[in-house]
Structure 1
Amino acid sequence: MKTRRTLKIFAPLLAAVLVLSACGSGEGIYDDKGQVFRKVIPQDMSSLDTAKVTDAVSFDTFNQVYEGLYVLDGNDKAQPGVAKGKPKISEDGKTWTVKLREDAKWSNGDPVTAHDFEFAWKRVVDPDTASEYAYIMYDLKNAEDINIGEKKPNELGVKALDDHTLQFELTKPLPYFKEMLAFGTFMPQNEKVVKKYGERYGTNEDKAVYNGPFKVKEWAVEDKILLVKNDKYWDKDVVKLDKINYKVLKDQQAGASLYDTKSVDDTLITAEQVEKYKDDPALKKRLLAATFFLKLNQGTVPAFKDKHMRLALGQAVDKEAYVNAVLNNGSEPSDGFTSKATAKAPDDSDFADQIDSPLVYNPEKAKENYEKAKEALGEDTFTFKLNTEDTPASKVSAEFIKAQIEKNLPGVTIKIQQLPFKQRIAREQSENYDISLSGWGPDYPDPLTFLNIMTTGNSSNNTGWGNKEYDKMLKDSNGALLQKEEERNQTLIDAEELLLNNAPITPIYQKGEAHLTNPQVKNLQYHNIGGDTTLKYVYIDKSIDRETGKKKEK
């Protein structure tokens, strides 16, 4: 079609313009001198404030520029970061004492101390901070009461016993809490710097300090993020990269062209490009533990108060055709909320495989539910706005979903509204939307990392839906049932099936990615939980031929 041909012509031209503009700026973003990893990212990060973000790009950046008590290895198991070793845990599993390494420093030379963790965690749960991720700390003593304003932040169950000893108290023993401590929201903050900048903290590279392998040298909003090696990092000797250059580029067609001109080392590519690169050693596909779904806002859309309308929408999209025709990047259809590879069942099977969902593609059942909804609502036609991001790939996705719904539910009209990522998120947070194509990835290896966000009043729910039975099942799963593995597993299954049968969200797919990754890039670690990558151990092996992926001939 004409649109597709236009994109193919436009992308190389755009790539050429981008490369030329970089060459004229002294130290270009595409320069490959020395040890530099250059990556195209599809959207910008939202902040450098670890208390204020919820998006994957920000958390991925945090993995490179900050370090928590623990970090995740290549198998998503917690290893010591700022912590000196394993925690000392009391007999009841609730009180943890962690010794910190004494050589950890911030990029401004200040020591990283236990006080930095105490300050950061209290700041997250302080309601004045308005952290959307505060709930992830609710397993700390008094955290929830503080966050809802019933107690003071200084009553949080965390205390720096001295500069290098942190002690905290949990509400109950949690087997996966060490992995949670690797997550971005639990990372430390330098109190002096946070208080110096106040509301402006983390809004640009100069209004933050860093304790990770890298630090932010430049952040040009919606354009680029440039990282350089942090010479104050305690483990700097194992860090081989001098620079990491992220280019924000919403057009993945142009990303592939940048790869072809050897201007970047890693980029996502579109469905139609996968076939072109099928024999290229650079093509890598991976399935992420992330579910993408339609959020249906019954808080402000009267038609979505009817369960049958929500079910109809969830059953009206051919997900198999969607992942094959639209994405073609390793994504898989999804009828459940908790993604595969998030958590194990007691028998060591995947938790997600146990779920019986009503939201399977089924045009006949979709029509049945639609007819029930029309009768209950007393209407025959409906118009809904579908929010998605302002990228070419997002538009194609939205158009497919629109076509499926309008074909299978006659009388429904879907109007696509493309928005910059931050605006789409802001619309969700303020519940100013009809339908939003949204996604969620796990923060720790347990089904609660997905299911908790749909509890009543959760800051990531934003759908107007709440269910007391669902809330109780999750509360029990995170409390009384923690030591009853089989019963807890069944309760979590029941909770997810209750959610899916109410359909405030309707899953579409589990996210896959098709990357072009320079074969010279070595030791790149991907994660299923938390931030997407760890680049601490990456190096560029220039003895490898970029085109063939094999050793160069001498």
Structure 2
Amino acid sequence: MEAKKLRIAILTLLISSGCMVQAKAAAQPNKILHVAIEAPDDGFDMVKTYNFYSGKIAEVIFEPLLKYDYLARPVQLVPNTVQTLPRIEQNGKVYTFKIKPGIYFSPDPAFKGQRRELKAQDYIYSIQRILDPKNRSTTYSFIDGKIVGGNQANALAKKTGKFNYDAPIAGLKALDPYTLQITLTRPDYNFQYILAYVTFGATAREVVEYYGDRIAQHPVGTGPYQLSKYVPRSKIELTANPYYRGFVWNFKSTGSAWDNRLVQEMSGKQMPQIGKVEVSIIEEEQSRWLAFKTGQLDFDKLTSNAVPQALDGQKLKPELVKQGIQHYPNKDPEITYTMFNMKDPTVGGFGLDKIALRRAITLSFNQDEAIKQLYKGQAVRSEMLVPDGVQGFNPNYRSSLAYNPVLANKLLDRFGYKKGADGYRTLPNGKALTLKFMTENSSSSVVQSELWKKNLDAIGIRVDFQVSNFADNLKAATQCKYMLWGGAWIADYPEGENFAQLLYGPNSAQGNLSCYQSKSYDALYQQMLALPPQQRLSYYEKLSRQIEADNPWIIHSSRIRNWLLHSQVQGFKAHPMMNTNWQYLDIQPVKNK
């Protein structure tokens, strides 16, 4: 009897303390989620990459201080590893966070058999890694000039050749093991959104030092999943983190029918339910569509070439509805664009002839035809730098650059790009002009290449498409070793600064993949940063006009993502800022038909 009482007392203590016992009981190994990503990752050290597909995996491994409410729209920040939202003082200059005790990193040899508890210092170390110039972090721009002492630590490391991780930084303090205080150089109420980005997730110093240069293949965090199998450019397997504290699915509906159903299905469940996530890298659209149709994938984005097979207008076709397939359309807060390498001798530079070439190429591209052919109508044209759904977007803004091949030809004629006997133009110095366009091996890339060739033929410019894969193309772009490449950026946090920093000069080859360095653009960007977010609209318009003047980018469109789900998937809702929602889902047994 006494032994039984003791077992009950221990169980009560574990449950009341929020220990990982709840998560262990909830995550069921037989619940396996099968998903796909359409391009390779390049490891999971998010300090050194902003590969979107790396980020999808990292989001369920690493935990920032804050996260987003799963259902709330507009997006709403909520505590993640902290007890409450931060205490903000001095008009937005000082942020204080209280970290929840009893949160542990997933088991790893770096911890030598001991459970490693999350502490305030782990977040300081993560920010230090971003500040370390050796890492050339693409996220550095998020905190550049913002943290007291941060830029000085970065400058000193550049001078000495080594970042001192033991030296204090005035703006980063662990007041006690569970209290983190961040002091900014100026008020910024937007800063808490930055801290919800995955790169600011907690990292244990001993793990980074243990794995060294191999850290990208050994991510260790406090999140709901841990990496259990990794076959680069082929397959990724995640299993539930046995030390994860778990949570109860308890979100409020926005009032939509979709949300109401989710609340009915999921409320009260201990999460995560899914014990294993198997991620396949399937670059070819037709293969991915077939994998979904045959049930090899539990859900996926509808590929462009499958739109006619799946949709009737904007609705799912009746035969798919009868199969129990669910349809969730969602316009991403993103822009797609084509980048010019501004350091390239052919298309880069600020001479009038170079600007004329880039502008002619921009004017030659038929955006409406691209939306029709490439996305089967599932996209909307983007007019400015900041997309819909992000603060700084102006629905009334109109780009000064519209499809106009006649004007494009006149520009090229005016600046000495003469046509030869074969109908193709030469450079003003008489040498051959051939654009080299990086692309990927997929059916959508083939369609895009055909569109580009058709449009460039119309203005007499020869183009050579260099086919590789996303990860290698990203590496080349990061090193400014390319001519043209297509890109996309989806919001990491809901403020236009997230997009404007992509062309800020000091971020060249470190997020700014166009390697664009414009004194005019940089001055506008710096002036914009000095203002609170709600006063920045006119600057986002000016920055968009500067892009139209210099043409480091061709801004294209925002895509509509049509998510299709098999009937066994419960709890799914696409989120504007979160790219991964696996910890919020459940899988029900498939009924025999």
Q: Which residue of 2 aligns with 1:457?
A: 506
Q: Give how far 1:422 is off.
A: 1.3
Shift in CA distance, 542/144, structure 1 to aligned 2, threshold 3 Å: same
- 2:360 is the alignment partner of 1:312: yes
The one-letter code sitting in structure 1 at the alignment partner of 2:434 is T
Alignment of 1:377-388 (within 5 A): 377-379=428-430, 382-388=433-439
Q: Give how far 1:44 is off.
A: 2.3
- 2:40 is the alignment partner of 1:44: yes
Q: Which residue of 1 aligns with 2:216?
A: 202
Query: Which deviates more, 147-156 or 89-98?
Result: 147-156
Q: Distance in 2 between matches of 1:33 and 1:187?
A: 26
**Do 2:341 and 2:552's aligned partners in 1 also have CA atoms closer than 8 Å?**
yes
Query: Which deviates more, 98-107 or 328-337?
Result: 328-337
**Do 1:39 and 1:264's aligned partners in 2 also have CA atoms closer than 8 Å?**
yes
SS at match of 1:366: helix
Q: Distance in 1 between matches of 2:384 and 2:587?
A: 39
Same amino acid, percent of matched pairs: 20
Shift in CA distance, 158/329, structure 1 to aligned 2, threshold 3 Å: farther
Q: Distance in 1 between matches of 2:567 and 2:363?
A: 41
- 2:581 is the alignment partner of 1:534: yes
The one-letter code sitting in structure 1 at the alignment partner of 2:517 is G
Deviations 1:162-199 (A, max 9, x none): 21111111122222222211101111101111111111
Q: Distance in 1 between matches of 2:54 and 2:513?
A: 21
Q: Give how far 1:105 is off.
A: 0.8
Shift in CA distance, 379/73, structure 1 to aligned 2, threshold 3 Å: farther
Q: Distance in 2 between matches of 1:155 and 1:175?
A: 24
The one-letter code sitting in structure 2 at the alignment partner of 1:291 is I
Q: Distance in 1 between matches of 2:556 and 2:410?
A: 20
Q: Give how far 1:368 is off.
A: 2.9
Alignment of 1:182-197 (within 5 A): 182-197=196-211
Shift in CA distance, 465/49, structure 1 to aligned 2, threshold 3 Å: closer
- 2:275 is the alignment partner of 1:242: yes
**Do 1:253 and 1:269's aligned partners in 2 also have CA atoms closer than 8 Å?**
no
Q: Which residue of 2 aligns with 1:277?
A: 310
Shift in CA distance, 461/371, structure 1 to aligned 2, threshold 3 Å: farther
Q: Give how far 1:379 is off.
A: 4.7
SS at match of 1:254: helix
Deviations 1:324-362 (A, max 9, x none): 112226222224222222225xxxxxx142433222222
Q: Which residue of 2 aligns with 1:85?
A: 84
Q: Give how far 1:97 is off.
A: 0.9
- 2:475 is the alignment partner of 1:469: no
The one-letter code sitting in structure 2 at the alignment partner of 1:475 is Q
The one-letter code sitting in structure 2 at the alignment partner of 1:263 is Q
1:423 to 468, 472, 486: 472
2:370 to 311, 318, 322: 322
Q: Distance in 2 between matches of 1:183 and 1:419?
A: 29
- 2:140 is the alignment partner of 1:134: yes
- 2:326 is the alignment partner of 1:289: no
Deviations 1:515-534 (A, max 9, x none): 432233222242323x4122
**Do 1:374 and 1:380's aligned partners in 2 also have CA atoms closer than 8 Å?**
no
SS at match of 2:59: helix
**Do 2:453 and 2:463's aligned partners in 1 also have CA atoms closer than 8 Å?**
yes
Alignment of 1:66-465 (within 5 A): 66-74=62-70, 75=73, 76-108=75-107, 109-138=115-144, 139-148=146-155, 149=158, 154-156=167-169, 157-203=171-217, 207-235=218-246, 237-278=270-311, 279=317, 280-281=320-321, 282=325, 283-305=327-349, 306-328=354-376, 330-344=378-392, 351-374=393-416, 377-379=428-430, 382-407=433-458, 409-410=459-460, 412-458=461-507, 459-465=510-516
**Do 1:255 and 1:268's aligned partners in 2 also have CA atoms closer than 8 Å?**
no
Deviations 1:100-126 (A, max 9, x none): 000211112311111111111111111
Shift in CA distance, 155/110, structure 1 to aligned 2, threshold 3 Å: closer
The one-letter code sitting in structure 1 at the alignment partner of 2:335 is T
SS at match of 1:79: strand
SS at match of 2:501: helix
Q: Distance in 2 between matches of 1:277 and 1:324?
A: 16
Q: Distance in 2 between matches of 1:518 and 1:238?
A: 20
SS at match of 2:463: strand
**Do 2:360 and 2:407's aligned partners in 1 also have CA atoms closer than 8 Å?**
yes
Q: Distance in 2 between matches of 1:391 and 1:132?
A: 27
SS at match of 2:584: coil
Q: Distance in 2 between matches of 1:364 and 1:285?
A: 37
Q: Give how far 1:464 is off.
A: 4.2
Q: Give how far 1:152 is off.
A: 5.8
Q: Distance in 1 between matches of 2:168 and 2:364?
A: 49
Q: Unaligned 5+ residue runs, structure 1?
A: 1-31, 345-350, 547-551
**Do 1:320 and 1:333's aligned partners in 2 also have CA atoms closer than 8 Å?**
yes
Q: Distance in 2 between matches of 1:397 and 1:377?
A: 28
SS at match of 1:356: coil
1:494 to 529, 536, 542: 542
Q: Distance in 2 between matches of 1:252 and 1:393?
A: 7
SS at match of 2:226: strand
**Do 1:252 and 1:268's aligned partners in 2 also have CA atoms closer than 8 Å?**
no
Q: Which residue of 1 aligns with 2:253?
A: none
SS at match of 2:228: strand
Q: Distance in 2 between matches of 1:122 and 1:95?
A: 18
Q: Give how far 1:372 is off.
A: 2.9
**Do 2:330 and 2:574's aligned partners in 1 also have CA atoms closer than 8 Å?**
no
Deviations 1:390-428 (A, max 9, x none): 223222212212221222x12x00111111111101111
Calculate the TM-score normalised by the size of structure 1.
0.85
**Do 2:124 and 2:173's aligned partners in 1 also have CA atoms closer than 8 Å?**
yes
The one-letter code sitting in structure 1 at the alignment partner of 2:186 is K
Shift in CA distance, 60/155, structure 1 to aligned 2, threshold 3 Å: same
SS at match of 1:536: helix
Q: Give how far 1:381 is off.
A: 5.7
Shift in CA distance, 107/253, structure 1 to aligned 2, threshold 3 Å: same
Q: Distance in 1 between matches of 2:444 and 2:134?
A: 37
Q: CA RMSD in A?
A: 2.3
